[in-house]
Chains A and B, each alone.
Chain A
């Protein structure tokens, strides 16, 4: 279970440009939830993920992971239980290393990176099978440098790598936004499959309303640092793209757009 309690976040505190994003923001994500988050630009979606993962500090409040306060915990320590896929496919892989080396690197998460062999030959078949499940033909390119792969291929690898070891939470930060519609579709289906298979508690930020409606069992809409819509279970299933779009328009009118 993930909990955000009374979170306050200011940008440029103490200056004339001070901007309050979150003031007493609360959110609870239950174990096994797949939450899709939508909202306009600057509504705080990505900031919320950054706060959860520890990429940016907060001014007040508590972040609880299964009841344990992790607000002061360093980002890399939180990542032991969190997997994260970014919008930019380049952030999830190492371009100058081969596919095999990248997979081995990810496979060792949570263990020590000592002086034993970097590539465990016994695991090679396992990596091959994992890559095969992507249907991108990567299993035959194990010795190719990841830097020469396309954005979609790299994002698929990033998704695979971030969920390879046992984790509890998966954070998806617009992870299909930089991909073409066809590849985005493949990645999204793959995401759903992995989440169900591994029973991961997932938060997915997306600008694609159809994905937000189609996937997950709970949906949030954020606006100016607040949740203005939070539907789960049956209510979520009744949401349609059109009803969301109407709400979106209302927000925009408020802002004077």
Chain B
């Protein structure tokens, strides 16, 4: 039982990250590697705030904003300095490593025993007795669903339309007398805001900030997005954002299953192989569609 709860918790937390990756990868068509830095950035900000005794619920909006700022930087490097998309992300990711270390002070900040969004009087009051084991899962679920709904609502606004248009046809955005660069920067900001939010939740769930927690985050995000969008392609009633969240849970389940038969140090290799398999399956589908068309 507890393994399933753990998979769902992890899946939903990384699902928020996957929502961010969905914006850059699927909507903006921008392979954004900033994610590997902005995920621990959210965690670093959170750990620092919690150690200082700030209200843990404040960490949520603050992490989002700080993550968004990182996204804006990547966007500025790409749009204003005309650096290639992949390289802009790598530059920002590298820079963020130092920034995260500076923010947190050390590579490892434990926050055991401190108040967090999961551990405080109010939450302990609501989830008592038998319910206690579902506490983290329910809180994570609520945050993930709220993030998804807000993102869905945003995509239906005029600004959201423009964001969808810029990944689809940059030219049209220019024709509409709008600067496509600014729209891209906005998209990167929202995406990295969500990623940092995921980092914030992750840090409080693990009760520790770890500088290397972001390594490979982009792979997890991409895998979740690709699983979600290609698996549920034919279910039109299912929104892409929902599919991405489910995709993330499936991915975490796959990793957990693989780990059952392997040692923990095989983790990265499993991740890589799994990602490759997902990519190949995703491509297969694309080819079939083209042939039929």
Measured CB to CB, the residues of A under 8 A from B are 74-77, 79-80, 83-84, 86, 90-97, 101, 104-106, 108-110, 112-119, 162
Contact = CB atoms under 8 A, between A and B. Distances in A.
B165 A94 contact: yes
Contacts of B157: 114-118
Contacts of A94: 164-165, 168-169, 172
Interface string B178-189: 111000000000
A116 B160 CA distance: 10
Interface in B75-134: none
Interface string B215-242: 0000000000000000000000000000
Contacts of B160: 118
Given A76-B179, A114-B158, A105 B165 contact: yes
Contacts of A117: 156-158
Given A104-B161, A117-B157, A118-B158, A109 B171 contact: no
A76 B178 contact: yes
A77 B177 contact: yes
A109 B176 contact: yes
A106 B158 contact: no
Contact of A90 (B159, B169, B179): B169
B162 interface: yes
A110 B175 contact: no
B212 interface: no
A31 B169 CA distance: 31
Given A79-B176, A90-B169, A109-B176, 8 more contacts: A76-B177, A77-B177, A94-B169, A95-B168, A96-B164, A106-B176, A115-B154, A115-B158
A109 B165 contact: no
A163 B77 CA distance: 35
Report, nearest first, the 8 A-B pairs whose CB atoms are least far apart: A113-B158, A80-B177, A118-B161, A79-B177, A94-B168, A113-B162, A115-B157, A109-B176
Contact of B161 (A93, A95, A110, A113): A113
Nearest to B155: A118
Nearest to A95: B168
Interface residues of B, number: 22
Nearest to B169: A94
B55 interface: no
13 contacts: A75-B174, A76-B177, A79-B176, A83-B175, A90-B169, A94-B164, A94-B165, A95-B168, A113-B158, A113-B159, A114-B158, A117-B158, A118-B161
A118 to B, nearest CB: 4
Interface string B130-169: 0000000000000000000000001011111110110011
A84 B177 CA distance: 11
Nearest to B156: A118
A256 to B, nearest CB: 37
Contacts of B171: 86, 91
Label chain B's interface by main secondary structure: helix
Contacts of A162: 175
Nearest to A75: B174
A101 B169 CA distance: 14
Contacts of A105: 158, 161-162, 165, 172, 176
B169 A93 contact: yes
Contacts of A118: 156-158, 160-161
A93 B178 contact: no
B189 to A, nearest CB: 15
A86 to B, nearest CB: 8
Nearest to A80: B177
B177 A97 contact: no
A147 B22 CA distance: 20
Nearest to B153: A115
A109 B176 CA distance: 5
A110 B168 CA distance: 20
Contacts of B161: 97, 101, 104-105, 113, 118
Task: Among B156, B171, B173, find the residue whose CB has the most chain A CB atoms closer than 10 A.
Answer: B171
B106 to A, nearest CB: 40
Given A84-B175, A113-B178, A97 B159 contact: no
Contacts of A92: 172, 175
Contacts of B165: 94, 97, 105
A96 B176 contact: no
A162 B176 CA distance: 8
A171 to B, nearest CB: 10
Contacts of B176: 79, 105-106, 108-109
Contact of A114 (B159, B164, B174, B180): B159
Task: Among A79, A94, A104, A108, find the residue whose CB has the most chain B CB atoms closer than 10 A.
Answer: A94
